[in-house]
Amino acid sequence: MNAIFRTFVVAAALILGLPAVAADEVNVYSSRKEELIKPLLDRFTAQTGIAVNLVTGKEDALLQRLKSEGANSPADLLVTTDAGNLYRAKAAGVTQPLVSDALSTAIPAVFRDPEGHWVGLTMRARPILYVKGKVDPATLSTYEALAGPDFKGRICVRSSDNIYNQSLVASLIAANGEAATETWARGLVANLARPPKGGDRDQIKAAAAGECDIAIANTYYLAGMLTGKDPADRTAAESVAVFWPNQDGRGTHVNVSGAALTAAAKHKNAAVQLVEFLASPESQQWYAQENGEYPVRDGVAVSATLTAWGPFKADSLNLARLGELNAPAVKLMDRAGWK
């Protein structure tokens, strides 16, 4: 028993004596996971000598941390994987304008906050995926059409708890109004092949296995399956194809991952420098290659997988609207019975 206690005490002593942080630095709260940001941060440090300190976590929790810490918050940047949370950070008053000519020239206005509080760093598309051979792409057209009687029992989509579905519905509200979107959501729920469960990859796998003919999923999940190590995932991913909906209208629904400069930022210059680095063609290409996300700026080479899906027209709705319409979208999905 004493040996056990002694081990615990030694471990305790070791953990509490942690190294302190470096002097020239920038502090990042990121809901983008470590795997998909750390390599770039390391490159930034190698190039500039500025150390980057990172905490990853869920966006809402990080935002709460930022709000509670107030003017003393150590965070300089908030990085999130959707525009809705950037909007929420701005609405909570914990951000400030991020002034950079380099960013405003490189990144199109729809991917930036109108007042410059945040910028998009990668674009993520949520198109329709269909099983090759079972669905004639000519029968596909828009998100709206998926609620029609032709697709009864043929669609897989994940839970409405997920921010990607919430943003998609928010974009439909922006385009068609709340009443029409609720009718649409009811139609979509009636067409589901199974109650929503699992993540985006699960929808693709279910479609490949024959449980449904059509899945709604973000493309980088499909890219991840195609280039991943699991042969079963690869086979499943190869059996579906991408259909870009709403090409004759507003375009396919897209969202961004992005960064906001915090109001409490103490390393403002370094922070802006880091965001410019993340928006640089080099970093943009890394995201395209590594995680199958689309660049937010022109002239960046994407991976062969992305090239094969072809170009598409993206919805030009300013992404701040997705944040504004998020709560109505969630309530609407509750009413429509979208689990």
Partner 1 sequence: MNTHSASRLWSAGIVSVALVLALPVLVIAGFVFVPAGDTWRHLAATVLPDYVTNSLLLMLGVTVGTLIGGVGTAWLTSMCQFPGRGIFEWALLLPMAMPAYIIAYTYTGMLDFAGPVQTSLRGLTGWGHGDYWFPEVRSLGGAALMLSLVLYPYVYLLTRAAFLSQSLCVLDVSRTLGNGPWQTFWRVALPLARPAIAAGLSLALMETLADYGTVQYFGVQTFTTGIFRTWYGLGDPAGAAQLSALLLSFVLVLIALEQSSRRHSRYHQTSQRHQAIRRHRLRGWRAAAAVAFSALPLLFGFLIPAGQLAAWAATIAHTVYDTRFLSLVFHSLGLAAVAALAALVFAVLLAYGKRLHPSSAVRAAVRLAGLGYAVPGTVIAIGVIIPFAWLDNTLDAWLRATFQVSTGLLLSGTLAALLFAYLVRFLAVALQTVEAGLGKIRPSMDEAARSMALGPGQVLRRVHLPMLKGSLITALLLVFVDVLKELPATLILRPFNFNTLAVRAFELASDERLADSAPAALTIVLAGLIPVILLSRSITRSRDAHST
Could you list the residues that contact partner 1 (CB under 8 A)? Answer: 1, 4-5, 7-9, 11-12, 14-16, 18, 21, 27, 33-35, 53-58, 60-62, 64-65, 68-74, 88, 159-161, 163, 166, 195-202, 205-206, 208-211, 221, 224, 228-230, 232, 236, 326-327, 330-331, 334-335, 339
Instruction: Please report how close the Cβ of residue 337 comes to partner 1 at its closest, in angstroms.
Output: 8
Instruction: Please report how close the Cβ of residue 73 comes to partner 1 at its closest, in angstroms.
Output: 7
Instruction: Please report how close the Cβ of residue 147 comes to partner 1 at its closest, in angstroms.
Output: 20
Which residues have a Cβ under 8 Å from the Cβ of 249 and sit 6 or more positions away? 142, 175
Instruction: Please report how close the Cβ of residue 122 comes to partner 1 at its closest, in angstroms.
Output: 15
Nearer to partner 1, 9 or 179 (CB): 9
For 74, which DSSP code?
-
Nearer to partner 1, 137 or 210 (CB): 210
Nearer to partner 1, 21 or 301 (CB): 21
Nearer to partner 1, 16 or 138 (CB): 16
The 3 state secondary structure assigned to 162-224 is: CHHHHHHHHHHHHHHCHHHHHHHHHHHHHHECCCCCCCHHHHHHHHHHCCCCEEECCHHHHHH
Of the candidates 214, 271, 270, the one whose C-alpha atom is nearest the C-alpha of residue 239 is: 214
Instruction: Please report how close the Cβ of residue 333 comes to partner 1 at its closest, in angstroms.
Output: 9
Nearer to partner 1, 5 or 114 (CB): 5
Instruction: Please report how close the Cβ of residue 89 comes to partner 1 at its closest, in angstroms.
Output: 12
Judge residue 307's burial from the number of C-beta atoms within 10 Å of its C-beta, 0-12 exposed, 13-18 middle, 19 or more buried.
Answer: exposed
The DSSP-derived string for 96-140 is E----HHHHHHS-GGGB-TTSSEEEEEEEE--EEEETTTS-GGG-
**Sheet architecture: strand order including 155-156:** 155-156, 214-216, 128-131, 240-243
CB atoms < 10 A from the CB of 171, how many? 27
3-state helix, strand, coil in the chain (%, to 5): 50, 15, 35
- Do the bridges between strand 25-30 and strand 240-243 make them parallel or antiparallel, or are there none, so unpaired? unpaired
Nearer to partner 1, 238 or 334 (CB): 334
Nearer to partner 1, 203 or 246 (CB): 203
Tokens representing 317 are: 């709705």
- The CA distance from 171 to 262, in Å, is 27
Instruction: Please report how close the Cβ of residue 263 comes to partner 1 at its closest, in angstroms.
Output: 14
Instruction: Please report how close the Cβ of residue 107 comes to partner 1 at its closest, in angstroms.
Output: 25
Phi, psi of 104 (to 5 degrees): -70, -25
Of the candidates 223, 257, 278, the one whose C-alpha atom is nearest the C-alpha of residue 44 is: 278
Nearer to partner 1, 118 or 312 (CB): 118
Longest alpha-carbon distance in the chain: 74
Instruction: Please report how close the Cβ of residue 197 comes to partner 1 at its closest, in angstroms.
Output: 3
Nearer to partner 1, 96 or 202 (CB): 202
